[in-house]
Structure 1
Amino acid sequence: MRITSDYYPMDTINFDQIQQQSVGIDVSSETLEVRLGTRRTDHQLAYTPCRSFPNTQQGFANLLEWLQSHTELSELWFIMEATGVYYEEFAYFLHQKGFRVCVLVARRAKNYAKSLPIKSKTDAIDARLLARYGLERQPRRWQPPSQLLRQIKALLRERGQLKKQRTQLKNQRHAAQRAWNHPESSLRRLTDHIRQIEDYISQINRQLEALWSSQEQLAEPIRRIGKITGLGRGTVLQVIAETNGFALTTNRNQLASYAGLDVVFEQSGTRQAATKISKQGNVHIRRALYMPALAASRHNRALRAFYQRLVERHPNHKKIALVAVMRKLLLLIYSLWKSGQSYDEEFHYQQITQAA
């Protein structure tokens, strides 16, 4: 089917000419920039002028009222991009009303934009781009995370920020202790601040333990997968929370891409750049997997063999080998979560050595 790049005013289209419609919403903290896109029966594309609505409950109601004058709401796809947390209220509003919502991760929207002859970037253009995505692609319906996983993810991210602050403060205190004649009062405040942050971290740890262990459907795989040598329950919990129980991906390659652990190749003519990972995915997953990968590469028999094999092939690229272990751990969590099986280190070791 051929779809042209011509655009026609919406007021020139009769309802019997409409084949498919979607709404593109460019979301910011204050506003929703909205365009309704239509694919006609002759495969031409048409868009409304951009309309702006407040990113509030009243704005949501006004947006739906405006759309009702143009189309049948039950047939629409609402396409938006995951922009921080600003899209969430509107996405939940639409989901609760039973509308079809597609939330694109930033990388997917960016890659789609690259496939089109669009050089400029404005809110109106982004809204039209998202509407066009709904007309040309097969949108995947957004499933919001459970309340339990939302709470766990929020607490894990808060704990991560607190640990980062604690490290910074400890570095400051260390420098202050070595400085000449540094005020004792300043050192006491730094120490008190560190203790306060450690108290907050302890509180969060207790909350997390109570939350994930309260639901056996979540607790059972956390305990089972967390037995992998070098991994631990905390890492498994972070991966599950950040992926909404892997609801955001449908296969292993998508999962690796979502975490930014997919491999990027650059080759042109005789030039071939060093292989690297994209780092364009969820940074929280990569941070959570780094230390477990380091431990697994030393203490997990199967993953140690895998790591050593890669180091032997590329002795000057140990970091690449470590990233490969991170990816292995991520995919192990995914496989065991989906299959319900327990980790067999000996079997995994045999698989790796046979593949060598």
Structure 2
Amino acid sequence: MSSNLNEIDRTNIIAFEVSKASLTVRSLPDDQQVTIPNTAQAIKRQLKAACKDRRPFVDCEASGGYERSVLECCVELGLPVHRAHGTRTRNFAKYLGLSAKTDAVDARMLALFAAKSDDLRLWQPPSKETVELRGLRRRRDDLAQMIRKEQNRLEHPHIKTVERSLKRHVRIMANEVKELDAQIAKLVTSTPEFRRKSDLLTSVVGVGPKTAAACLAYVPELGSLTKGQAAAIVGLAPHAQDSGTLKGHRRISGGRREVRASLYMAALSTLRYDPMMQSFARRLRARGKPAKVAITAIMRKLIVIMNAVLKTGEPARGAVS
């Protein structure tokens, strides 16, 4: 199966609007629509029927994991498939003037999105090690977020029983986080590809094993991206807000927010230990940029540098481009 979108015939498109129990399927160019169960058997039957004349290009929405059967069936049948991000498809729907949101409307919109978009990334199945690492890291991050919430509750006066309960809960979850960190470190060390990439990533000043593990789990594409793609995929690409003579503030949005928390801590560490980053931050502040903008700019540089070291296979030399 080709990984180049330009080499794929997109005159025959199958789009899946995904829900837990069912799939609304829209096909182009015949513009036919059916609803089928969200089961591997029903999906394969639908895809095989669509393959009678020529191979279809498949588009399905990301829906909290309920799209997994569609993706796996496409890989098994050797069909190119794109997993569409919800924000992009809703913006596309607005462009089409589709204010209503139903399964039928969304299925047709997804089919048109697949036909008209030129920068779609084909879905590639992750390795079983990546799936395991992502699961461990996500659970670890969920617990860390719960710990912060419980600690925030401790800042306000409580009756002693409630306070003891909160502290006990924080202590239990903190131990769980330590155990998960140990499992993550063991998995990275025991997987040659993870270990090689982690060594390269941690050669960047400020990037530690935990940030490296977050990138390996949540951004497995890192190392195959351009500078702009690397910044955009984690939501650190600044978007212009200009109109006529008005020059608005650039803003970041979207992307994989799970990585940004790790990059924020890495940026603080980099700012402390890397003289070149310190100089870069001072130049930004001298131009009137707020401290948060300077930190965001360092986060953006970090992800670009991390992408570069994985692409070249060479450890970082500490240069700020």
TM normalised by structure 1 equals 0.80
For residues 339 and 330 of structure 1, the distance between their equivalents in structure 2, rounded to whole angstroms, comes to: 14
| Pairing partner for 2:293 from 320, 327, 330 | 320
Q: How does 1:1-356 map to 2 (within 5 A)?
A: 20-38=11-29, 46-48=30-32, 50-64=33-47, 68=49, 71-72=51-52, 75-138=55-118, 139-176=120-157, 179=158, 182-183=159-160, 185-246=161-222, 250-277=225-252, 279-315=253-289, 317-345=290-318, 348=319, 352=321
Q: 1:71 to 1:320 in 2, by over 3 A?
A: same
Report the RMSD for the aligned CA atoms in angstroms: 2.3
> Is this contact kept in 2: 1:153–1:241, CA < 8 A?
yes
Q: SS state of the match for residue 75, structure 1?
A: coil
> Is this contact kept in 2: 1:276–1:320, CA < 8 A?
no
Please state how far the C-alpha of 1:94 moved relative to its aligned partner. Answer: 2.0
Q: SS state of the match for residue 26, structure 1?
A: strand
Q: 1:214 to 1:151 in 2, by over 3 A?
A: same
For residues 300 and 266 of structure 1, the distance between their equivalents in structure 2, rounded to whole angstroms, comes to: 32
Q: SS state of the match for residue 249, structure 2?
A: coil
List structure 1 runs of 4+ shifted beyond 4 angstroms: none
> Is this contact kept in 1: 2:232–2:255, CA < 8 A?
yes
> Is this contact kept in 1: 2:130–2:217, CA < 8 A?
yes
Percent sequence identity over matched residues?
26
Please state how far the C-alpha of 1:111 moved relative to its aligned partner. Answer: 4.2
Please state how far the C-alpha of 1:117 moved relative to its aligned partner. Answer: 4.3
What amino acid maps onto 1:173 in structure 2?
L
Q: SS state of the match for residue 261, structure 1?
A: coil
| Larger relative contact order, structure 1 or 2 (CA cutoff 8 Å, min sep 6) | 2
Q: SS state of the match for residue 25, structure 1?
A: strand
What amino acid maps onto 1:162 in structure 2?
L
Moved more, 108-117 or 304-313: 108-117
Equivalent position of 1:3 in the other structure: none
What amino acid maps onto 2:217 in structure 1?
A
Deviations 1:315-347 (A, max 9, x none): 5x12111100000001111000111011112xx
> Is this contact kept in 1: 2:17–2:107, CA < 8 A?
yes
For residues 90 and 21 of structure 1, the distance between their equivalents in structure 2, rounded to whole angstroms, comes to: 17
Q: 1:71 to 1:213 in 2, by over 3 A?
A: closer
Equivalent position of 1:11 in the other structure: none
For residues 15 and 178 of structure 2, the distance between their equivalents in structure 1, rounded to whole angstroms, comes to: 43
Structure 1 unmatched ranges of 5 or more: 1-17, 39-45
> Is this contact kept in 2: 1:74–1:99, CA < 8 A?
no
For residues 137 and 295 of structure 1, the distance between their equivalents in structure 2, rounded to whole angstroms, comes to: 39
Please state how far the C-alpha of 1:96 moved relative to its aligned partner. Answer: 2.1
TM normalised by structure 2 equals 0.89
Structure 2 unmatched ranges of 5 or more: 1-8
Q: SS state of the match for residue 217, structure 1?
A: helix
Q: SS state of the match for residue 299, structure 2?
A: helix
Max Rg structure:
1
Equivalent position of 2:4 in the other structure: none
For residues 18 and 68 of structure 2, the distance between their equivalents in structure 1, rounded to whole angstroms, comes to: 10
